[in-house]
Protein backbone atom coordinates (compact mmCIF):
# COMPACT_ATOMS: atom_id res chain seq x y z
CA UNK A 1 0.00 0.00 0.00
CA UNK A 2 2.55 2.65 -1.03
CA UNK A 3 -0.20 5.29 -1.15
CA UNK A 4 -0.71 4.86 2.60
CA UNK A 5 2.66 3.82 3.92
CA UNK A 6 6.39 4.31 3.54
CA UNK A 7 9.59 4.10 5.54
CA UNK A 8 9.43 7.89 5.29
CA UNK A 9 6.62 7.87 7.89
CA UNK A 10 6.07 7.23 11.60
CA UNK A 11 5.02 4.08 13.43
CA UNK A 12 3.56 2.96 16.77
CA UNK A 13 3.66 -0.49 18.33
CA UNK A 14 1.95 -2.36 21.13
CA UNK A 15 3.81 -5.56 21.99
CA UNK A 16 2.49 -8.18 24.39
CA UNK A 17 4.59 -11.04 25.74
CA UNK A 18 3.43 -13.70 28.19
CA UNK A 19 3.87 -12.77 31.82
CA UNK A 20 4.77 -9.16 31.06
CA UNK A 21 2.84 -5.92 30.86
CA UNK A 22 2.23 -4.75 27.27
CA UNK A 23 4.92 -2.42 25.95
CA UNK A 24 4.49 0.55 23.65
CA UNK A 25 7.01 1.69 21.06
CA UNK A 26 6.67 5.30 19.96
CA UNK A 27 8.48 6.01 16.70
CA UNK A 28 7.28 9.56 16.20
CA UNK A 29 9.52 12.05 14.44
CA UNK A 30 9.87 15.56 15.85
CA UNK A 31 9.68 18.87 14.00
CA UNK A 32 12.90 20.03 12.38
CA UNK A 33 15.15 22.52 14.13
CA UNK A 34 14.48 25.07 11.39
CA UNK A 35 10.71 24.49 11.40
CA UNK A 36 9.49 27.60 13.18
CA UNK A 37 6.31 29.63 12.70
CA UNK A 38 8.46 32.56 11.60
CA UNK A 39 10.23 30.39 9.00
CA UNK A 40 6.91 29.61 7.32
CA UNK A 41 5.56 33.13 7.57
CA UNK A 42 8.77 34.54 6.10
CA UNK A 43 8.19 32.14 3.20
CA UNK A 44 4.74 33.67 2.69
CA UNK A 45 2.58 31.00 4.33
CA UNK A 46 -0.17 31.50 6.90
CA UNK A 47 -0.53 27.72 7.24
CA UNK A 48 1.85 24.82 6.72
CA UNK A 49 1.45 23.46 3.18
CA UNK A 50 -0.05 19.97 2.93
CA UNK A 51 2.16 18.87 0.06
CA UNK A 52 5.69 19.43 -1.13
CA UNK A 53 9.04 19.98 0.60
CA UNK A 54 7.63 22.46 3.13
CA UNK A 55 5.22 19.75 4.32
CA UNK A 56 8.17 17.40 4.92
CA UNK A 57 9.14 19.04 8.19
CA UNK A 58 9.31 16.16 10.69
CA UNK A 59 11.74 13.27 11.02
CA UNK A 60 10.50 9.91 9.72
CA UNK A 61 10.49 7.68 12.80
CA UNK A 62 9.26 4.33 11.45
CA UNK A 63 12.65 2.69 10.94
CA UNK A 64 13.74 3.58 14.48
CA UNK A 65 10.58 1.87 15.71
CA UNK A 66 11.57 -1.30 13.90
CA UNK A 67 14.87 -1.25 15.82
CA UNK A 68 13.24 -0.61 19.18
CA UNK A 69 10.68 -3.38 18.60
CA UNK A 70 13.41 -5.83 17.65
CA UNK A 71 15.42 -5.00 20.75
CA UNK A 72 12.42 -5.32 23.06
CA UNK A 73 10.94 -8.48 21.54
CA UNK A 74 14.29 -10.23 21.06
CA UNK A 75 13.51 -11.66 17.63
CA UNK A 76 15.54 -14.62 16.39
CA UNK A 77 15.70 -13.75 12.68
CA UNK A 78 18.57 -11.59 11.37
CA UNK A 79 17.77 -8.19 9.89
CA UNK A 80 18.86 -9.37 6.44
CA UNK A 81 16.14 -12.03 6.51
CA UNK A 82 13.51 -9.69 7.88
CA UNK A 83 14.06 -7.27 4.99
CA UNK A 84 14.70 -9.92 2.31
CA UNK A 85 11.15 -10.11 0.95
CA UNK A 86 10.67 -6.35 0.95
CA UNK A 87 13.92 -5.96 -0.99
CA UNK A 88 12.79 -8.58 -3.51
CA UNK A 89 9.43 -6.87 -4.13
CA UNK A 90 11.01 -3.44 -4.40
CA UNK A 91 13.61 -4.77 -6.85
CA UNK A 92 11.44 -7.07 -8.99
CA UNK A 93 8.04 -5.46 -8.57
CA UNK A 94 4.93 -5.48 -6.42
CA UNK A 95 1.35 -5.59 -7.74
CA UNK A 96 -0.52 -2.31 -8.05
CA UNK A 97 -3.86 -2.43 -6.23
CA UNK A 98 -7.03 -0.77 -7.46
CA UNK A 99 -6.94 1.30 -4.27
CA UNK A 100 -3.54 2.69 -5.25
CA UNK A 101 -4.80 3.52 -8.73
CA UNK A 102 -7.92 5.22 -7.39
CA UNK A 103 -6.11 7.45 -4.92
CA UNK A 104 -3.26 8.26 -7.27
CA UNK A 105 -5.86 9.46 -9.75
CA UNK A 106 -7.85 11.32 -7.13
CA UNK A 107 -4.87 13.39 -5.98
CA UNK A 108 -2.72 13.37 -9.12
CA UNK A 109 -3.12 17.11 -9.73
CA UNK A 110 -1.49 18.01 -6.41
CA UNK A 111 0.96 15.10 -6.29
CA UNK A 112 2.37 14.94 -9.82
CA UNK A 113 4.28 18.26 -9.52
CA UNK A 114 6.03 17.17 -6.31
CA UNK A 115 9.72 16.24 -6.64
CA UNK A 116 10.22 12.59 -7.57
CA UNK A 117 6.55 11.61 -7.42
CA UNK A 118 5.88 11.10 -11.12
CA UNK A 119 9.06 9.08 -11.60
CA UNK A 120 8.15 6.75 -8.74
CA UNK A 121 4.39 6.36 -9.05
CA UNK A 122 3.35 7.34 -12.60
CA UNK A 123 4.25 5.81 -15.95
CA UNK A 124 5.06 8.43 -18.56
CA UNK A 125 2.70 10.73 -16.71
CA UNK A 126 -0.16 8.22 -16.70
CA UNK A 127 -1.63 6.16 -13.90
CA UNK A 128 -0.27 2.64 -13.48
CA UNK A 129 -2.74 -0.09 -14.35
CA UNK A 130 -4.31 -2.11 -11.57
CA UNK A 131 -2.66 -5.55 -11.26
CA UNK A 132 0.41 -4.38 -13.14
CA UNK A 133 3.82 -4.64 -11.47
CA UNK A 134 5.56 -1.57 -10.10
CA UNK A 135 9.26 -1.53 -9.25
CA UNK A 136 11.12 0.71 -6.81
CA UNK A 137 14.84 0.18 -7.47
CA UNK A 138 16.08 3.12 -5.36
CA UNK A 139 14.04 1.91 -2.40
CA UNK A 140 15.40 -1.61 -2.90
CA UNK A 141 18.93 -0.23 -2.62
CA UNK A 142 17.97 1.67 0.55
CA UNK A 143 16.54 -1.49 2.15
CA UNK A 144 19.70 -3.39 1.14
CA UNK A 145 21.78 -0.70 2.82
CA UNK A 146 19.71 -1.04 6.00
CA UNK A 147 20.11 -4.82 5.94
CA UNK A 148 23.86 -4.47 5.46
CA UNK A 149 24.67 -1.53 7.73
CA UNK A 150 21.87 -1.74 10.30
CA UNK A 151 18.71 0.28 10.85
CA UNK A 152 20.66 3.05 12.61
CA UNK A 153 22.12 3.97 9.20
CA UNK A 154 18.82 5.73 8.42
CA UNK A 155 19.62 8.28 11.14
CA UNK A 156 23.37 8.21 11.70
CA UNK A 157 25.07 6.75 8.64
CA UNK A 158 25.43 7.14 4.90
CA UNK A 159 21.68 6.94 4.40
CA UNK A 160 21.13 9.76 6.88
CA UNK A 161 23.55 11.93 4.94
CA UNK A 162 21.86 11.13 1.62
CA UNK A 163 18.36 11.70 3.01
CA UNK A 164 19.19 15.01 4.66
CA UNK A 165 21.17 16.31 1.69
CA UNK A 166 18.31 15.74 -0.75
CA UNK A 167 15.69 17.07 1.65
CA UNK A 168 17.70 20.26 2.07
CA UNK A 169 18.25 20.53 -1.68
CA UNK A 170 14.49 20.31 -2.27
CA UNK A 171 13.70 23.02 0.28
CA UNK A 172 12.63 21.02 3.33
CA UNK A 173 13.65 22.43 6.75
CA UNK A 174 14.97 18.99 7.80
CA UNK A 175 18.72 18.65 8.28
CA UNK A 176 21.18 15.94 9.29
CA UNK A 177 21.18 17.14 12.89
CA UNK A 178 17.46 16.41 13.10
CA UNK A 179 18.06 12.80 12.06
CA UNK A 180 21.02 12.46 14.41
CA UNK A 181 18.93 13.58 17.38
CA UNK A 182 16.06 11.19 16.70
CA UNK A 183 15.38 7.99 18.59
CA UNK A 184 12.31 5.86 19.23
CA UNK A 185 10.98 5.55 22.77
CA UNK A 186 9.65 2.69 24.84
CA UNK A 187 6.50 3.97 26.56
CA UNK A 188 3.92 2.56 28.94
CA UNK A 189 0.59 2.16 27.11
CA UNK A 190 -2.57 3.76 28.42
CA UNK A 191 -5.02 1.20 29.76
CA UNK A 192 -8.62 1.10 30.90
CA UNK A 193 -10.59 -1.65 32.67
CA UNK A 194 -13.76 -2.80 30.91
CA UNK A 195 -16.44 -5.26 31.91
CA UNK A 196 -14.90 -7.77 29.46
CA UNK A 197 -11.21 -7.23 30.23
CA UNK A 198 -8.53 -4.57 29.93
CA UNK A 199 -7.91 -2.52 26.77
CA UNK A 200 -4.58 -0.89 25.90
CA UNK A 201 -3.60 1.83 23.48
CA UNK A 202 -0.83 4.35 22.91
CA UNK A 203 -0.48 7.57 24.96
CA UNK A 204 -0.23 11.05 23.39
CA UNK A 205 0.75 12.36 20.94
CA UNK A 206 -1.58 9.68 19.48
CA UNK A 207 -5.36 9.63 19.79
CA UNK A 208 -5.18 6.33 21.67
CA UNK A 209 -6.78 8.09 24.63
CA UNK A 210 -9.89 8.74 22.53
CA UNK A 211 -10.07 5.10 21.44
CA UNK A 212 -10.02 3.88 25.03
CA UNK A 213 -12.51 6.52 26.19
CA UNK A 214 -15.04 5.47 23.55
CA UNK A 215 -14.93 1.86 24.74
CA UNK A 216 -15.08 2.73 28.43
CA UNK A 217 -17.89 5.27 28.09
CA UNK A 218 -19.99 2.93 25.96
CA UNK A 219 -19.34 0.11 28.40
CA UNK A 220 -21.06 2.24 31.05
CA UNK A 221 -24.24 2.78 29.02
CA UNK A 222 -24.68 -0.56 27.28
CA UNK A 223 -26.79 -2.41 29.86
CA UNK A 224 -29.80 -3.74 28.02
CA UNK A 225 -28.49 -2.54 24.65
CA UNK A 226 -28.77 -5.10 21.84
CA UNK A 227 -26.07 -5.51 19.21
CA UNK A 228 -26.66 -3.63 15.94
CA UNK A 229 -29.59 -1.71 17.44
CA UNK A 230 -30.13 2.05 17.37
CA UNK A 231 -28.94 2.15 20.97
CA UNK A 232 -25.69 0.37 20.01
CA UNK A 233 -24.82 2.71 17.12
CA UNK A 234 -26.11 5.86 18.84
CA UNK A 235 -24.28 4.95 22.04
CA UNK A 236 -20.96 4.50 20.26
CA UNK A 237 -21.40 7.71 18.23
CA UNK A 238 -22.22 9.73 21.34
CA UNK A 239 -19.32 8.12 23.21
CA UNK A 240 -17.11 9.17 20.28
CA UNK A 241 -18.23 12.78 20.69
CA UNK A 242 -17.34 12.74 24.38
CA UNK A 243 -13.92 11.30 23.60
CA UNK A 244 -13.25 13.74 20.77
CA UNK A 245 -14.09 16.69 23.00
CA UNK A 246 -11.17 15.63 25.18
CA UNK A 247 -8.89 14.73 22.28
CA UNK A 248 -9.42 17.97 20.39
CA UNK A 249 -8.72 20.13 23.44
CA UNK A 250 -5.81 18.36 25.04
CA UNK A 251 -3.92 15.73 23.02
CA UNK A 252 -0.62 16.96 21.61
CA UNK A 253 3.09 16.53 22.37
CA UNK A 254 2.95 14.97 25.86
CA UNK A 255 5.68 17.33 27.07
CA UNK A 256 3.28 20.23 26.49
CA UNK A 257 0.10 18.71 27.90
CA UNK A 258 -1.24 20.38 31.05
CA UNK A 259 -3.31 17.34 32.03
CA UNK A 260 -2.51 13.70 32.70
CA UNK A 261 -4.22 11.61 29.99
CA UNK A 262 -4.75 8.79 32.48
CA UNK A 263 -7.04 11.08 34.48
CA UNK A 264 -9.61 10.87 31.68
CA UNK A 265 -9.63 7.07 32.02
CA UNK A 266 -10.53 7.09 35.71
CA UNK A 267 -13.99 6.10 36.87
CA UNK A 268 -15.25 9.54 37.82
CA UNK A 269 -14.28 11.20 34.55
CA UNK A 270 -15.74 8.35 32.48
CA UNK A 271 -18.93 8.38 34.54
CA UNK A 272 -19.35 12.09 33.80
CA UNK A 273 -18.98 11.44 30.08
CA UNK A 274 -21.52 8.64 30.23
CA UNK A 275 -24.00 10.82 32.16
CA UNK A 276 -23.63 13.57 29.54
CA UNK A 277 -25.01 11.27 26.83
CA UNK A 278 -28.71 11.55 26.01
CA UNK A 279 -29.86 8.02 25.12
CA UNK A 280 -32.46 9.40 22.70
CA UNK A 281 -30.92 12.55 21.21
CA UNK A 282 -27.71 13.39 19.34
CA UNK A 283 -25.32 15.95 20.79
CA UNK A 284 -24.86 18.93 18.43
CA UNK A 285 -21.75 18.47 16.33
CA UNK A 286 -19.16 18.98 14.76
CA UNK A 287 -15.89 19.44 16.48
CA UNK A 288 -12.82 20.05 14.24
CA UNK A 289 -12.22 16.91 12.14
CA UNK A 290 -8.95 15.07 11.74
CA UNK A 291 -7.71 13.67 8.41
CA UNK A 292 -5.25 10.86 7.87
CA UNK A 293 -4.57 7.54 6.18
CA UNK A 294 -2.41 4.64 7.24
CA UNK A 295 -1.98 0.88 7.45
CA UNK A 296 -2.52 -1.42 10.42
CA UNK A 297 -0.86 -4.80 10.86
CA UNK A 298 -1.19 -7.40 13.58
CA UNK A 299 0.84 -10.54 14.30
CA UNK A 300 0.82 -13.37 16.81
CA UNK A 301 3.23 -16.28 17.19
CA UNK A 302 3.21 -19.69 18.80
CA UNK A 303 5.22 -18.49 21.79
CA UNK A 304 2.58 -16.03 22.97
CA UNK A 305 3.93 -12.80 21.52
CA UNK A 306 1.31 -10.45 20.04
CA UNK A 307 1.85 -7.22 18.14
CA UNK A 308 -0.49 -4.43 17.12
CA UNK A 309 1.33 -2.06 14.76
CA UNK A 310 0.37 0.99 12.77
CA UNK A 311 2.50 2.98 10.34
CA UNK A 312 1.67 5.92 8.11
CA UNK A 313 2.80 8.86 6.00
CA UNK A 314 -0.34 10.80 7.13
CA UNK A 315 -2.22 11.83 3.95
CA UNK A 316 -2.17 9.67 0.83
CA UNK A 317 1.48 9.64 -0.32
CA UNK A 318 2.33 12.02 2.54
CA UNK A 319 4.09 15.17 1.35
CA UNK A 320 4.20 13.71 -2.15
CA UNK A 321 7.95 14.09 -2.45
CA UNK A 322 9.97 10.96 -3.26
CA UNK A 323 13.69 11.28 -2.66
CA UNK A 324 15.26 10.01 -5.87
CA UNK A 325 18.59 9.09 -4.29
CA UNK A 326 16.93 6.72 -1.79
CA UNK A 327 13.38 6.12 -3.08
CA UNK A 328 11.85 7.28 0.21
CA UNK A 329 8.41 8.92 0.09
CA UNK A 330 8.41 11.41 3.00
CA UNK A 331 5.45 12.01 5.30
CA UNK A 332 3.52 15.26 5.79
CA UNK A 333 2.61 14.59 9.43
CA UNK A 334 3.99 18.00 10.39
CA UNK A 335 1.33 19.76 8.34
CA UNK A 336 -0.97 19.06 11.30
CA UNK A 337 0.92 21.67 13.31
CA UNK A 338 -0.62 25.12 13.64
CA UNK A 339 1.08 28.46 13.00
CA UNK A 340 -1.11 29.97 15.72
CA UNK A 341 1.14 30.44 18.75
CA UNK A 342 -1.86 30.06 21.08
CA UNK A 343 -2.79 26.62 19.78
CA UNK A 344 -1.84 23.52 21.76
CA UNK A 345 -0.70 22.17 18.35
CA UNK A 346 1.54 25.17 17.63
CA UNK A 347 4.63 24.43 15.56
CA UNK A 348 8.00 24.68 17.28
CA UNK A 349 11.36 22.97 16.68
CA UNK A 350 11.58 19.56 18.31
CA UNK A 351 7.87 19.17 18.99
CA UNK A 352 5.99 15.97 18.30
CA UNK A 353 2.96 16.30 16.00
CA UNK A 354 -0.50 15.05 16.92
CA UNK A 355 -1.03 11.53 15.59
CA UNK A 356 -4.21 9.80 14.50
CA UNK A 357 -2.27 6.52 14.66
CA UNK A 358 -3.27 4.23 17.52
CA UNK A 359 -2.82 0.45 17.57
CA UNK A 360 -5.15 -1.41 19.94
CA UNK A 361 -4.66 -4.45 22.18
CA UNK A 362 -6.84 -6.10 24.81
CA UNK A 363 -6.46 -8.86 27.35
CA UNK A 364 -9.95 -10.26 27.90
CA UNK A 365 -11.16 -11.57 31.23
CA UNK A 366 -11.51 -15.15 29.95
CA UNK A 367 -7.84 -15.34 28.87
CA UNK A 368 -8.20 -14.41 25.22
CA UNK A 369 -5.90 -11.75 23.77
CA UNK A 370 -6.90 -9.47 20.92
CA UNK A 371 -5.01 -7.07 18.66
CA UNK A 372 -6.97 -4.92 16.24
CA UNK A 373 -6.85 -1.63 14.40
CA UNK A 374 -7.72 0.25 11.24
CA UNK A 375 -6.78 3.21 9.10
CA UNK A 376 -8.75 6.38 8.45
CA UNK A 377 -8.06 9.48 10.59
CA UNK A 378 -11.13 10.21 12.74
CA UNK A 379 -12.44 6.80 11.74
CA UNK A 380 -9.70 4.85 13.52
CA UNK A 381 -11.12 4.94 17.06
CA UNK A 382 -14.67 4.63 15.76
CA UNK A 383 -14.08 1.48 13.74
CA UNK A 384 -11.99 0.09 16.58
CA UNK A 385 -14.98 0.57 18.89
CA UNK A 386 -17.41 -1.03 16.42
CA UNK A 387 -15.22 -4.10 15.93
CA UNK A 388 -14.35 -4.54 19.61
CA UNK A 389 -17.88 -4.03 20.91
CA UNK A 390 -19.28 -6.54 18.43
CA UNK A 391 -16.68 -9.19 19.18
CA UNK A 392 -15.80 -8.77 22.84
CA UNK A 393 -19.01 -7.29 24.26
CA UNK A 394 -21.63 -9.00 22.10
CA UNK A 395 -19.91 -12.25 21.18
CA UNK A 396 -20.07 -11.92 17.40
CA UNK A 397 -17.75 -13.91 15.18
CA UNK A 398 -14.53 -11.97 14.56
CA UNK A 399 -14.98 -11.77 10.79
CA UNK A 400 -18.62 -10.77 11.23
CA UNK A 401 -17.52 -7.99 13.56
CA UNK A 402 -15.16 -6.60 10.90
CA UNK A 403 -17.48 -7.12 7.91
CA UNK A 404 -20.67 -5.70 9.47
CA UNK A 405 -21.81 -2.18 8.45
CA UNK A 406 -19.92 0.67 10.06
CA UNK A 407 -20.18 4.43 10.35
CA UNK A 408 -17.97 7.50 10.59
CA UNK A 409 -18.63 10.71 12.48
CA UNK A 410 -16.60 13.40 10.74
CA UNK A 411 -14.42 13.30 7.68
CA UNK A 412 -11.74 11.04 6.30
CA UNK A 413 -10.15 10.14 2.96
CA UNK A 414 -10.16 13.80 1.88
CA UNK A 415 -13.90 14.36 2.44
CA UNK A 416 -14.79 17.72 3.99
CA UNK A 417 -18.30 16.93 5.30
CA UNK A 418 -18.66 16.23 9.02
CA UNK A 419 -21.93 14.30 8.87
CA UNK A 420 -22.53 10.86 10.38
CA UNK A 421 -21.69 8.69 7.38
CA UNK A 422 -23.43 5.33 7.57
CA UNK A 423 -22.99 2.43 5.19
CA UNK A 424 -26.26 1.79 3.37
CA UNK A 425 -26.14 -1.85 4.50
CA UNK A 426 -27.13 -0.78 8.02
CA UNK A 427 -30.66 -1.77 9.07
CA UNK A 428 -33.03 0.90 7.61
CA UNK A 429 -34.92 0.99 10.91
CA UNK A 430 -31.68 1.92 12.72
CA UNK A 431 -30.91 4.58 10.11
CA UNK A 432 -34.39 6.05 10.53
CA UNK A 433 -33.99 6.10 14.31
CA UNK A 434 -30.64 7.90 13.98
CA UNK A 435 -32.30 10.54 11.79
CA UNK A 436 -35.11 10.94 14.30
CA UNK A 437 -32.61 11.36 17.15
CA UNK A 438 -31.05 14.34 15.37
CA UNK A 439 -28.00 12.79 13.75
CA UNK A 440 -26.99 14.35 10.42
CA UNK A 441 -27.00 10.98 8.65
CA UNK A 442 -25.41 10.60 5.22
CA UNK A 443 -25.67 7.20 3.54
CA UNK A 444 -22.54 5.97 1.78
CA UNK A 445 -22.17 2.83 -0.37
CA UNK A 446 -21.75 -0.48 1.39
CA UNK A 447 -18.19 -1.69 1.95
CA UNK A 448 -17.07 1.91 1.58
CA UNK A 449 -13.56 3.27 2.06
CA UNK A 450 -15.14 6.08 4.10
CA UNK A 451 -15.34 3.83 7.16
CA UNK A 452 -11.73 2.69 6.90
CA UNK A 453 -10.06 -0.70 6.67
CA UNK A 454 -10.08 -2.82 9.82
CA UNK A 455 -8.35 -6.02 10.87
CA UNK A 456 -8.05 -8.16 13.98
CA UNK A 457 -6.36 -11.22 15.50
CA UNK A 458 -7.41 -13.16 18.59
CA UNK A 459 -5.46 -15.78 20.50
CA UNK A 460 -7.84 -18.18 22.22
CA UNK A 461 -7.13 -19.91 25.51
CA UNK A 462 -6.32 -23.18 23.73
CA UNK A 463 -3.61 -21.48 21.66
CA UNK A 464 -5.63 -21.22 18.46
CA UNK A 465 -5.28 -17.92 16.61
CA UNK A 466 -8.17 -16.53 14.57
CA UNK A 467 -8.06 -13.51 12.32
CA UNK A 468 -10.28 -11.24 10.24
CA UNK A 469 -9.46 -8.98 7.29
CA UNK A 470 -11.69 -6.24 5.93
CA UNK A 471 -13.50 -6.89 2.63
CA UNK A 472 -13.28 -3.13 2.11
CA UNK A 473 -9.51 -3.46 1.70
CA UNK A 474 -6.84 -5.55 0.00
CA UNK A 475 -5.69 -6.92 3.36
CA UNK A 476 -5.56 -10.61 4.19
CA UNK A 477 -5.11 -12.96 7.11
CA UNK A 478 -2.03 -15.12 6.59
CA UNK A 479 -0.74 -18.10 8.57
CA UNK A 480 2.92 -19.08 8.20
Catalytic residues: 294
Q: What is the DSSP string of 266-292?
A: SHHHHHHHHHT--SSSPPP--PPP---
* Separation of alpha carbons 326 and 296, rounded Å: 24
Q: Are 361 and 199 in contact (CB under 8 A)?
A: yes
Q: What angle do CA 22, 399, 82 make, to 5 degrees?
A: 50
Backbone phi, then psi, for 151, in 5-degree steps?
-65, -25
Alpha-carbon separation of residue 434 from 229, 298, 380 (angstroms): 10, 33, 21
**Which residue blocks in 203-311 are alpha helix, DSSP H?**
208-221, 230-250, 267-275
Picking from 87, 125, 101, the residue whose alpha carbon sits closest to that of residue 327 is: 87
3-state secondary structure of 110: helix
Alpha-carbon separation of residue 204 from 28, 114, 172, 250, 323 (angstroms): 11, 31, 26, 9, 30
Q: Name the β-bridge partners of 199.
A: 192, 362
Q: Are 376 and 409 in contact (CB under 8 A)?
A: no
Q: Are 140 and 90 in contact (CB under 8 A)?
A: yes
Amino acid sequence: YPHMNSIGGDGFWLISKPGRAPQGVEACGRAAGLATREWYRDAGHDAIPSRGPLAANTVAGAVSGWQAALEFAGGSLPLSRLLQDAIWYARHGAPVTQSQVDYTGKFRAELAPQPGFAQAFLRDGALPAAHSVQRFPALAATLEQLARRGLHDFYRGELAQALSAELERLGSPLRLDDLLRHQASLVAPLQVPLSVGTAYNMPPPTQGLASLMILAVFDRIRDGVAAESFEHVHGLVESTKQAFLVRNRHVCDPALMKVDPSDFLRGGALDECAQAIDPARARPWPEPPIHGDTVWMGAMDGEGCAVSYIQSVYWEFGSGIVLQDTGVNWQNRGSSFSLDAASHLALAPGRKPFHTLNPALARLSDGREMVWGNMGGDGQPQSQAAVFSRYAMYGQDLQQAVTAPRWLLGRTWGQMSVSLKVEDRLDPAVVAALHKAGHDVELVPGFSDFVGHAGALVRHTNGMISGAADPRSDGVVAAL
